[in-house]
């Protein structure tokens, strides 16, 4: 695992999120996606449109003023957003630790133009088996191999590299250790597939895994801890209510009820009031390891 660079902002290990509950925000800024992952819990079926650029820039400023240090752009597929370039550039100008989580679509273009505006790139890969990836709805049979190429490019650019993996009924028996050794992530996030009413119901049911199946997958991959690639694990409970998330319309949303609950627009009511409205629990952010050297 690469050592943290001088530009990585340290987080004090005793800091609690209650001291700064808005320290890290995931902005799901765009609904469209080029893939159809069957387990996706951020389909935003009920959301129409997206925030205009001028309001998006104001929202970034409001989050920064409220204490947000790290902004993670997600989707949908964020590299499809027509204004991803100006958003990333403004996030850098405001002093955020800037992250993006992507399936890799159009990532080359973003890196060509604005690698210096990014700190972290997260790539989503759930299996080293291309047939499983395709069966999950992620790619056309080349996703795992192309992601290795993108990971190498991210490292060459001097950026921090994250790997996101969702454990489902199709991959819980798999051993990804050889793949991860080639990928070489600075951080490997592993999630138990999460059902969310109104988002993935009707497509995720046959992909769900038991706690025992998820634990078996985790135990199999714990051996990578000695090599610096150990998984940061989140089961369904850890994922619920522990993320401060913004939807494409600039509202905080939460999943603590098992379905999405939305605040009023952040620009209308302010960051603190909007965050309180969605059931976000800052203590759970800490418990799941959400504060680290970033």
* pLDDT, tens only, 228-265: 999 999 999 999 999 999 999 999 999 989 999 999 99
On whether the CB atoms of residues 231 and 189 are closer than 8 A, the answer is yes
Structure tokens at 36: 């159809």
pLDDT of residue 15: 53
Pairwise CA distance, residues 232 & 229, whole Å? 9
Average pLDDT, the chain: 93
* pLDDT, tens only, 149-202: 999 999 999 999 999 999 999 999 999 999 999 999 999 999 999 999 999 999
- List helix spans (H) across 191-288: 211-221, 236-239, 266-269, 271-276, 282-287
Looking at the chain, the whole-number percentage of residues with pLDDT higher than 90 is: 90
On whether the CB atoms of residues 196 and 236 are closer than 8 A, the answer is no
Domain boundaries, the chain: 24-287
pLDDT at 8 over 50: no
Pairwise CA distance, residues 11 & 17, whole Å? 11
Collapsing DSSP states into helix, strand and coil, what is residue 129?
Answer: coil
Q: Cα dist. 193→12, 38, 200, 207, 229 in Å?
A: 30, 10, 10, 7, 21
Q: How confident is the model at residue 17 (pLDDT cuts 50, 70, 90)?
A: low
pLDDT of residue 53: 98
3-state secondary structure 37-79: CCCCCCCCCCCCCCCCHHHHHHHHHHHHHCCCCEEEEECCCHH
Looking at the chain, the whole-number percentage of residues with pLDDT higher than 70 is: 94
> What is the pTM for the complete model shown?
0.93
Pairwise CA distance, residues 81 & 66, whole Å? 25
* Least confident span in 2-16, 47-61, 65-79, 276-290: 2-16
Q: What average pLDDT score do residues 109-125 get?
A: 98
Report the CATH superfamily, name and number, of domain 24-287: Aldolase class I (3.20.20.70)
pLDDT of residue 140: 85
24-37: burial string, b at 16+ Cβ within 10 Å, e else: bbbbbbbbebebeb
- Antiparallel, parallel or unpaired: β 245-246 and 251-254: antiparallel
Burial of 134 from C-beta contacts in 10 A (0-12 / 13-18 / 19+): middle
Structure tokens at 55: 């309001």
Q: What backbone torsions phi and psi does residue 184 show, to the nearest 5 degrees?
A: 55, 60
pLDDT at 7 over 80: no
Pairwise CA distance, residues 27 & 7, whole Å? 22
């Amino acid at each position: 695992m690469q050592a943290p660079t001088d530009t990585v902002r340290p987080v004090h290990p005793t800091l609690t999120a209650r001291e700064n509950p808005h320290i890290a925000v995931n902005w799901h800024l765009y609904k469209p996606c080029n893939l159809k992952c069957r387990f996706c819990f951020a389909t935003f079926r009920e959301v129409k449109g997206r925030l205009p650029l001028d309001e998006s820039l104001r929202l970034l400023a409001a989050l920064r003023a409220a204490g947000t240090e790290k902004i993670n752009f997600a989707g949908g597929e964020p590299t499809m957003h027509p204004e991803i370039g100006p958003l990333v550039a403004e996030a850098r100008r405001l002093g955020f630790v800037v992250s993006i989580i992507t399936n890799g679509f159009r990532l080359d273009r973003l890196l060509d133009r604005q690698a210096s505006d990014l700190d972290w790139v997260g790539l989503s890969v759930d299996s080293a088996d291309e047939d499983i990836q395709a069966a999950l709805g992620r790619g056309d049979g080349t996703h795992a191999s192309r992601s290795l190429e993108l990971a190498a490019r991210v490292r060459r650019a001097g950026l921090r590299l994250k790997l996101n993996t969702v454990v489902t009924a199709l991959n819980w028996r798999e051993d990804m250790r050889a793949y991860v050794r080639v990928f070489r992530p600075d951080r490997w996030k592993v999630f138990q597939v999460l059902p969310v009413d109104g988002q993935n119901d009707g497509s995720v049911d046959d992909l769900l895994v038991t706690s025992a199946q998820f634990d078996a997958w985790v135990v199999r991959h714990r051996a990578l801890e000695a090599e610096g690639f150990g998984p940061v694990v989140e089961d369904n409970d850890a994922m619920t209510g522990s993320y401060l998330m913004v939807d494409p319309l600039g509202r905080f949303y939460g999943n603590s009820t098992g379905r999405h609950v939305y605040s009023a627009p952040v620009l209308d009511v302010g960051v603190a009031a909007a965050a309180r409205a969605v059931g976000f629990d800052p203590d759970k952010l800490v418990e799941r390891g959400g504060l680290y050297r970033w």
